Amino acid sequence: MKSKIGIAVVLLVVVVLALFLPNFGGRYYTQIFVQVLINIMLAASLRPSLLCGQLNIGHSAFMAIGAYASALLAKNLGLPFELSLLFGGALSAAVGLIMGYPSLRLRGVYFAMVTVSFVEVIRLIAQLWVSLTRGMSGLSGIPKPSLLGMVLTTKASQYYLALGLLVIILLILYRLEYSRLGLIWKSIGMADNLSQSLGINVANYKLLAFTLGCFFAGVAGAYYASFFRFLFPPEFSFLLSVNILVYNFVGGRGHFIGPIVGAAFLTLLVEPFRGSAYETIFFSIAMLLTILFLPGGLITLPGKLAGLWSGSTGSAPATSAAT
Amino acid sequence: MALLEARNLTKYFGGLAAVNRVDITVNAGEIVGLIGPNGAGKTTCFNLLSGFLPPTAGSITFNGEALVGLKPHHIVKRGLVRTFQLTTLFLDMTVLTNVLLGLHLSSQRGFGRVLLSLRSFPREEITRTHEVLEFTGLAPYADELAKNLPHGRQRTLGIAMALAARPLLLLLDEPVTGMNLDESQQVMNLVKTIRDRGTTVLLVEHNMKAVMGTCERIVVLNFGEKLTEGTPSEVGSNRAVIEAYLGSGGEHA
């Protein structure tokens, strides 16, 4: 009961904060907060794959596909933002489907290796197909986002667009995770041979989780393109994929809010070092500290602190991964 | 009438014949034991029958239908359900959810159904789950996480999940290994009750007392080949079987 009130209070604070953020601190801060929202989209959309036990380090490739596809459609064909966003996501999902079908048969580290190489392939295509993507000069002049024909010119309005988009994505992902489909994903992650022996077509459900993640990564990429209005191939490197994975681990894999907490926390904390070599060091340290002291991620921190507070040496209340 | 008929079943791993020209017949309503020393090919046989491994040669007929080439999830739907050695369970889920999944996953008609019906489980599935828990004696543990159960109960849970899938033939892989006398007696009684309720059972087990006391017919494997087959007393007094288990030196006797 007490914890339910606590959760409600935290939720309320987060919602109010999210709604009022663009009113503080001006353009620079709005940009950081948008980055937070995008990273949450990316981290949360990786979760279905992780639930199935697939170590996917290729998420940035699908973000790149969505970003370039939607940017080119909007810029060259003048497609409205909503359509180019959906096309970006759909193309990402289609590529994910084609790529996932053979590679999801691989397990563990072998699957991870395929996803890593895929990131490099996509990055090199973006870099070398100069006539289409402008290569290393970067793709610029991408139209601003619009809604029902109305162009959103201010950064604040674009922030609210991202917030709305994020809420929709999270609602869909939440609904799926806490349905039978999510239960099946979790069962595959825990013991895929048992799931199979109970009649589950493991390959299909893994492919669905993977493709769904690709779709939302593509959508996140499409928004990214319209907000920053500049795409540069090295932005979508292997490092970004690792970061998305780290958000999930540091936030905690035991619950839906894990990647949300992880992405928000790390994006804000790493902001002063962004783009420098310290960023990588910082992420590595965050990952190591989590593995050593908080194997369940940041979301288990309140429980651990409460355990310390009441002086009990017993184990902290475990956040149940089930149902 | 033969419910399961495997003919000339063969599996090579590289040059090694893990299972070589084995014939196994299981009639409806029987409890059949599959025994043999370590490495005799018992678990490989299970993997072949349940579709987890493709046989190198041979045929498997179940309930009048050829099984070779079908995927494990298709074989389950035809009524052949297996359990695993050791404790293969959804450890971070409750006992109830484990059995519910056993019931639910096996009754799933396909992919589309899951996508179209995102609501929680139908009432009759939950009722049936409680029946299975009651029947297997797991009802008091329904809300316990599977990983917190004592070893014996975890093995029973594995059987309960398979039962929930409504098998015609249940393949049990070492159901009582690592259990004390009391626990193994309970599980073997459960196996008999399962049979009496109309499910045929084929089991692999090392615990000879349990096998001899439960099975009506026993198939003995050694080095991937069928050594002999017969009633428990026939097998128990067979010279070749005793040699396979104890060695032929004589000094062990």
Residue A145 φ/ψ region, left for φ over 0, alpha for ψ in the -120 to 50 degree band, beta for the rest: beta
Q: In this complex, how many residue pairs, one in chain A and one in chain B, have their CB atoms less than 8 Å apart?
A: 97
Position A223 scores a pLDDT of 94
Position B111 scores a pLDDT of 60
Report the share of chain B in percent with pLDDT over 70: 90
Average pLDDT along chain A: 85
Least CB-CB distance to B91: which of A190, A193, A197? A190
In a domain, A270, yes or no: no
Report the share of chain B in percent with pLDDT over 90: 4
Contacts of A239 (CB under 8 A, 6+ apart): A280
Cα dihedral angle (A139, A143, A146, A149), rounded to 10 degrees?
Answer: -140
Position B113 scores a pLDDT of 60
Whether the predicted pLDDT of B220 surpasses 70: yes
ipTM: 0.79
Position B118 scores a pLDDT of 56
Specify the 3-state DSSP secondary structure of A81: helix
For the stretch A148-158, pLDDT in tens is: 878 788 888 88
Q: Is A320 within 8 Å of B92 when comparing Cβ atoms?
A: yes
Position A95 scores a pLDDT of 94
Which residue reads 């079943």 in tokens?
A: B9
* DSSP, res A314: S
Which residues of chain B does A199 touch, with a Cβ-Cβ cutoff of 8 Å? 73, 76-77, 105-108, 165
Whether the predicted pLDDT of B13 surpasses 60: yes
Instruction: Name the residue with higher pLDDT: B179 or A71.
Output: A71
Least CB-CB distance to B73: which of A180, A191, A196? A196
Position A281 scores a pLDDT of 84
Position B119 scores a pLDDT of 60
Query: Binning pLDDT at 50, 70 and 90, where does residue A66 land?
Result: very high
- β-strand pairing of B31-35 with B217-222: parallel
Rounded to a whole number of angstroms, the distance from the CA of B81 to the nearest CA of chain A is: 7
Position A311 scores a pLDDT of 63
Query: Binning pLDDT at 50, 70 and 90, where does residue A316 land?
Result: very low
For the stretch A27-59, pLDDT in tens is: 788 888 899 999 999 999 999 999 998 888 889
Half-sphere exposure of A146 (CA within 13 A, CB side): 17
Report the share of chain A in percent with pLDDT over 90: 28
In a domain, A305, yes or no: no
Report the share of chain A in percent with pLDDT over 70: 95
For the stretch A184-234, pLDDT in tens is: 899 898 888 888 888 888 888 999 999 999 999 999 999 999 999 888 888
Position B38 scores a pLDDT of 81
Question: Of the candidates B77, B21, B67, B25, which has an alpha carbon nearest to the alpha carbon of residue B47?
Answer: B67
- β-strand pairing of B169-173 with B200-204: parallel
Q: Is A197 within 8 Å of B93 when comparing Cβ atoms?
A: no
Q: Is A196 within 8 Å of B52 when comparing Cβ atoms?
A: yes
Position B114 scores a pLDDT of 59
Q: Is A191 on the interface with B (CB under 8 A)?
A: yes
Position A314 scores a pLDDT of 46
Tell me the mean pLDDT in the region B16-30: 87
- Do residues B6 and B22 touch, judged by C-beta distance below 8 A? yes
For the stretch A77-125, pLDDT in tens is: 888 888 999 999 999 999 999 998 988 888 778 888 889 999 999 988 9
Q: In terms of CA atoms, which chain A residue is nearest residue B103?
A: A198
Enter the pTM of the model: 0.83
Position A315 scores a pLDDT of 46
Instruction: Name the residue with higher pLDDT: A274 or A60.
Output: A60
Query: Binning pLDDT at 50, 70 and 90, where does residue B146 land?
Result: confident
Domain that holds residue A116: 25-236
Residue of B82, B90, B98 for testing the chain A interface, max A β-carbons within 10 Å? B90
Token pair for residue B131? 């029946």
Position B202 scores a pLDDT of 92
Rounded to a whole number of angstroms, the distance from the CA of B235 to the nearest CA of chain A is: 31
Top CATH class, B1-79+167-253:
alpha beta
Tell me the mean pLDDT in the region A10-16: 81
Instruction: Name the residue with higher pLDDT: A6 or A222.
Output: A222
Which residues of chain B does A191 touch, with a Cβ-Cβ cutoff of 8 Å? 88-91
Please name the amino acid found at residue A102.
P
Question: Of the candidates B195, B193, B228, B235, which has an alpha carbon nearest to the alpha carbon of residue B211?
Answer: B235
Least CB-CB distance to B118: which of A180, A320, A323? A180
Give the Cα separation of A233 and A123 in Å (integer): 6
Rounded to a whole number of angstroms, the distance from the CA of A201 to the nearest CA of chain B is: 6
Whether the predicted pLDDT of A309 surpasses 50: yes
Q: Is B111 within 8 Å of A201 when comparing Cβ atoms?
A: yes
SS (H, E, C) chain B: CEEEEEEEEEEEECCEEEEEEEEEEEECCCEEEEECCCCCCHHHHHHHHCCCCCCCEEEEEECCEECCCCCHHHHHHCCEEECCCCCCCCCCCEHHHHHHHHHHHHHCCCHHHHHHCCCCCCHHHHHHHHHHHHHHCCHHHCCCEHHHCCHHHHHHHHHHHHHHCCCCEEEEECCCCCCCHHHHHHHHHHHHHHHHCCCEEEEECCCHHHHHHHCCEEEEEECCEEEEEECHHHHHCCHHHHHHHHCCCCCCC
Position A321 scores a pLDDT of 42
Query: Binning pLDDT at 50, 70 and 90, where does residue B178 land?
Result: confident
Q: In which element (H, E) is residue A230 found? A: strand A230-231
Domain boundaries, chain B: 1-79+167-253, 89-165
Rounded to a whole number of angstroms, the distance from the CA of A254 to the nearest CA of chain B is: 10
Least CB-CB distance to A197: which of B72, B97, B119? B72
Q: In which element (H, E) is residue A71 found? A: helix A59-76
In a domain, A45, yes or no: yes
Whether the predicted pLDDT of B234 surpasses 90: no
Position B1 scores a pLDDT of 66
Tell me the mean pLDDT in the region B211-236: 84
Position B177 scores a pLDDT of 82
**How many separate domains does chain A show?**
1
Average pLDDT along chain B: 83
Question: Of the candidates A222, A257, A195, A204, which has an alpha carbon nearest to the alpha carbon of residue A47?
Answer: A257
Q: Is A295 on the interface with B (CB under 8 A)?
A: no
Contacts of A142 (CB under 8 A, 6+ apart): A71, A74, A75, A225, A226, A229, A230, A231
For the stretch B85-128, pLDDT in tens is: 876 888 888 898 888 888 877 666 556 565 555 566 777 778 88
Give the Cα separation of A167 and A182 in Å (integer): 19
* DSSP, res A77: S
Which residues of chain A does B86 touch, with a Cβ-Cβ cutoff of 8 Å? none
Q: Is A180 within 8 Å of B91 when comparing Cβ atoms?
A: no
Query: Binning pLDDT at 50, 70 and 90, where does residue A318 land?
Result: very low
Q: Is B93 within 8 Å of A187 when comparing Cβ atoms?
A: yes
Whether the predicted pLDDT of B143 surpasses 80: yes
Least CB-CB distance to A190: which of B81, B90, B162? B90
Rounded to a whole number of angstroms, the distance from the CA of B213 to the nearest CA of chain A is: 28
- β-strand pairing of B217-222 with A146-147: unpaired
Position B42 scores a pLDDT of 86
> Per CB distance under 8 Å, which residues of B are interface residues toward A?
50, 52, 71-73, 76-77, 81-84, 88-94, 97, 101-102, 104-108, 111, 114-115, 117-121, 145, 161-162, 165
Which residues of chain B does A323 touch, with a Cβ-Cβ cutoff of 8 Å? 93-94, 97
* DSSP, res A276: S
Which residues of chain B does A186 touch, with a Cβ-Cβ cutoff of 8 Å? 90, 92-93
